[in-house]
Chains A and B, each alone.
Chain A
C-alpha cells in the first residue's frame, strides 16, 4: 500500500515538475550566443561593446514600434501594412515640437533637454494614437477578415499618409538634432557609448516592463492574451473584443509614434518615407518572434538590432541581407517563430 502511494506520489511530483519547466529559454540562449559569438569575430572588446549597445538600442526602438503591430495581428488577424505611417507622423510631430522648444533643447540643463524629448514623445504618441483611431475606423474596419484587401488598403493608407505629411512638413529631409546634453558619448574603458543609445535602451526597457505588467498582471492584459489565442471564446465569455481591439490599435499606434520619435532621434533626421523604411524590419521582427507574441517580438527585435549592427561592421555588403537571412534561419528552426502563440 505504502509502496503504491509513494509511486503515485513521485509520478505526481514528476508531472508537477514537468509542468513547472514551462519557460522556453532557447531563444534567450540564442541571443546570448549571438552576443558572445560576435565578440571574437569583431576582435576589439571596445568596438564590441559599442556595437552591442547600438544593437540593443536599435532593437528596443524596433520593439516599441513592432509590439503594437504584433498584438493587432494576434487579436484580430489584421495585417496592417500601414503601421509605418504612425512612425512617420510621430517623427515629424517631434521635429515640430522640438523645433518649437529650441530654447529647451539648446539649454545645457539635462532636465530641460529630457523634458523637451518627453513632451515631444507625449505629443507624438497622442497624434499617432488619434490617427490610429481614425485609421481603424475608416480603413481597417471595412476589411475585417479579408487579408488581401487589408494589405492593399493599409498600404494605400500609408501612401496617402506619407503624401499628407509632405503637404504639412514638405517633401525634404528634416534634421532632428539631439538636445545638447544627449549628444556625445560616455567613455567606459576604451569603449564609447553614445548617450542617446543609453536613453533609448532605458525607454525601451521601461516600455517592455510596462507591457509585460499590463499583459500579465491586469485583467485587460489577460483579455488581450486570451483574445490573441481565441477571440471567439473571449466573446463567448461576455467581453466585447471589437472594443478591446480598437483600444489595442490606438495603443499600438501611439507606441509606433513613440518609436518614430526615437528612430528619428537615432537617425538625427526624418524623411516622409521613414515609415516604409522601418516597415520591413518590423515585419521581420514580428514573424521571427511568433505572430501575436509580445515576448517573441522583444527577443526578435533585439536579434535584428544586434545582427544589423554586427554585420554592418563585419561585412557591410551583406548587412542588407542579414535580417532576411536571420528570419530564414529562425523559421527553418522554428517555423512558427521563436515563441509561437498556440491555437493560432
Chain B
C-alpha cells in the first residue's frame, strides 16, 4: 500500500513543551485514515506539524516521498499547501469579515475572481452544501457553526487537492449536519482523495475510516484497519477508554 504521507519519529516542541514524542504515521493514498485519541494526545499538533505550522524538531515528514517537514526539510506552510495538501483547522479558519464568495475565491489559487472558479466543481460543492449557494454573498461571520464548517470544507476542496487534513469537523454540530459531512467525505473518497481526519465522534470514524491510528501522549500507539477496531470492544476500551455500547 503506497503511503502518500509518511511521518517517521516526529518530535515537535511548542516553546518549552515537548508535545510529539516520535510519531510514526502511514497515510495510504486514496483512503480515509482516522486519527483518534483523547484530548491532548497530540492529534492537532500532528496535523499542524504536517502542515508546517509548527516545526518538527526531529524526524521526518514525507509527502509522496519528498521531505516536507523535519530539520532537513526547507518547505514552509505555503509550499506544503501548494504541493497539494489542504488543511481545515479545528477553529475552521473562516475569514469572517469576507463573504462566502471571497472565502472561496481566496482558497482557489488559480482564480482571481469568482467567475474564474471551476463552475462544474462549484455546482458539485453547492450540491453538497446548498447553504453556501444561498449565502454566497453574505459575510462568512454571519453563518451558523454548521454552515461555517461546510464553508471550511468547501474551501479545502474548491480545487482538487491530493490530501485533506481535517481537524474535528463534527465538533458541536447537529446530527443532520454531521450526516451531510459524512456524505461529502464519501464523495471525496470516491474521487480518490486521501483524507487524514482527526475525530472524537467514534460513530463518524466508524462510518468513514478505512484505516485508523490512535494517539496517546504524543505517540501513535495503535494503527490498523478501522473495521478491526470497530469490531473489538476491548481494544476500544484499552485505546480510547470508550465502550462502543454507550455510543450506539
Contacts and interface: CB of A to CB of B under 8 A. Distances in A.
Interface of A: 16, 18-20, 22, 218-219, 222-223, 225-226, 229-230, 232-241, 341-343
Contacts of B106: 219, 222-223, 226, 234, 237
Contact of B81 (A18, A225, A238): A238
B102 A22 contact: no
Contacts of B102: 222, 226
B112 interface: yes
Interface of B: 51, 53, 76-78, 81-82, 87, 89, 93, 95-98, 102, 105-107, 109, 111-113, 134-135, 138-139, 141-142, 155
A235 B78 CA distance: 5
Given A219-B106, A223-B106, A235-B77, A229 B138 contact: no
Contact of B138 (A19, A235, A341): A19
A237 B107 contact: yes
B141 A342 contact: yes
B89 A222 contact: no
B109 A238 contact: yes
Given A22-B142, A241-B78, 17 more contacts: A16-B138, A20-B138, A225-B97, A226-B98, A229-B96, A230-B93, A232-B93, A233-B95, A235-B53, A235-B76, A235-B81, A236-B53, A238-B78, A342-B141, A343-B95, A343-B96, A343-B97
B139 A19 contact: yes
Looking at A230, A232, A233, which has the most chain B CB atoms within 10 Å of its CB? Answer: A233
Contacts of A232: 53, 77, 93
Contact of B97 (A218, A233, A341): A341
A232 B102 CA distance: 17
Contacts of B97: 225, 229, 341-343
Contacts of B107: 237
A123 B109 CA distance: 35
Contacts of A218: 112
User: A-B pairs with the 7 shortest C-beta distances?
Assistant: A238-B81, A233-B93, A235-B77, A19-B138, A226-B95, A238-B82, A219-B112
A307 to B, nearest CB: 27
A22 B138 contact: yes
